[in-house]
């Protein structure tokens, strides 16, 4: 089979523990592009953060961010970088209000993502982590952080377009109970990229559906797609792709639906997969 599209997750997949793209992974991606393969980055991260790594790869690539809530194409060239939005699906006001109410019920701070800004009531976990990352980035690559005492007013009254809500808590029972409550609303999609978090998007928003949209845009059949990931939020694209690949460090739930298991993220598992199935 000649594959025409490769979709890769970022954290614990393309990126190593230093949050860098290894030279082997970079080389493999560039060789795949030389063979005419479309490279797509698919992540739960906010778009601005995902774009940084597209720049590190040095390639023009569509970026699926916020678990499929936005698809934007980053075109890199020597004169000026340009971007265009291919698809965007915002959480509606009702969903935003429900997430605020339910997260407060469990005493958890909820974070809300736009394409470039995180709204939160307190600088903690997600917003704190991005604040730390910002210290190492140029101004154009930094994620904006807005802390608001009345987060509902800040988002709803200002008509902010929210792509994703995130909650983080080390108590797995609390996270599971909150997940059940969120699912019962019937108005959103829920997934996890880590065991201690929940990521909430508009109903029907998944990485898999975003990959399907791009494939249709490029005229590529699902059997011509490779998808690589490590966690629950990658399952939809692993199942959609003709060849779904789990990282060696992937969650068991993802390994069960994958067609192949590659090396882990510290062993350049993405490059290993590209070298085996594309080059």
Residues 185, 99 contacting (CB under 8 angstroms): no
As a whole number of angstroms, the distance between CA 86 and CA 187 comes to 23
Taking 3-state DSSP, the helix, strand and coil percentages for the chain, each rounded to the nearest 5, stand at 40, 25, 35
Please list the residues that pair with 145 across neighbouring strands: 118
- In tens digits, the chain (279 residues) has pLDDT values of 899 999 999 999 999 999 999 999 999 999 999 999 999 999 999 999 999 888 888 778 899 999 999 999 877 665 566 788 999 999 999 999 999 999 999 999 999 999 999 999 999 888 999 999 899 999 989 999 999 999 999 998 889 999 999 999 989 899 999 999 999 999 999 998 888 899 999 999 999 999 999 999 999 999 999 999 999 999 999 999 999 999 999 999 999 999 999 999 999 999 999 999 999
The structure tokens listed for 34 are 């030389």
Residues 175, 193 contacting (CB under 8 angstroms): no
3-class state of residue 113 by DSSP: strand
The alpha carbon of 113 is separated from its chain's Cα centroid by a whole number of angstroms, namely: 12
- List CB contacts of 178: < 8 A, sequence separation 6 or more: 102, 103, 105, 106, 108, 167, 169, 198
pLDDT recorded at residue 81: 65
The alpha carbon of 186 is separated from its chain's Cα centroid by a whole number of angstroms, namely: 22
Closest to 110 in 3D by CA, of 4, 206, 188, 219:
188
Comma-separated ranges of CATH 3.40.50.1000 domains in the chain: 5-88+206-277
Comma-separated ranges of CATH 3.30.1240.10 domains in the chain: 93-202
Residues 10, 233 contacting (CB under 8 angstroms): no
One of 1.10.760.10, 3.30.450.20, 3.30.1240.10, 3.30.70.60 is the CATH number of 93-202, namely 3.30.1240.10
5-88+206-277 has which fold?
A: Rossmann fold (3.40.50)
As a whole number of angstroms, the distance between CA 217 and CA 212 comes to 9
pTM summary value: 0.93
């Amino acid at each position: 089979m000649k594959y025409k599209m490769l979709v890769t997750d970022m954290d614990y997949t393309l990126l190593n523990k230093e949050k860098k793209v290894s030279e082997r992974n970079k080389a493999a991606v560039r060789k795949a592009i030389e063979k005419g393969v479309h490279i797509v980055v698919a992540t739960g991260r906010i778009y601005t953060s995902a774009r940084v790594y597209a720049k590190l790869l040095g390639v023009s690539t569509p970026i699926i961010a916020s678990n499929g809530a936005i698809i934007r194409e980053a075109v890199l060239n020597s004169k000026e970088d340009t971007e265009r939005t291919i698809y965007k699906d915002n959480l509606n006001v009702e969903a935003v209000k429900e997430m605020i109410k339910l997260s407060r019920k469990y005493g958890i701070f909820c974070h809300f993502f736009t394409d470039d800004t995180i709204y939160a009531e307190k600088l903690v976990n997600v917003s704190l982590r991005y604040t730390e990352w910002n210290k190492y980035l140029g101004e154009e690559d930094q994620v904006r952080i807005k802390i608001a005492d009345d987060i509902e007013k800040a988002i709803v009254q200002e008509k902010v377009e929210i792509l994703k809500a995130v909650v983080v808590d080390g108590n797995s029972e609390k996270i599971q109970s909150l997940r059940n409550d969120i699912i019962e609303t019937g108005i959103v999609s829920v997934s996890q990229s880590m065991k201690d978090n929940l990521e909430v998007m508009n109903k029907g928003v998944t990485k898999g559906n975003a990959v399907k949209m791009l494939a249709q845009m490029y005229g590529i059949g699902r059997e011509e797609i490779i998808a690589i990931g490590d966690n629950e939020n990658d399952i939809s694209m692993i199942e959609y792709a003709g060849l779904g690949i789990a990282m060696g460090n992937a969650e068991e739930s993802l390994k069960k639906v994958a067609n192949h298991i590659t090396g882990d993220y510290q062993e350049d598992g993405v490059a290993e997969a590209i070298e085996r199935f594309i080059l």
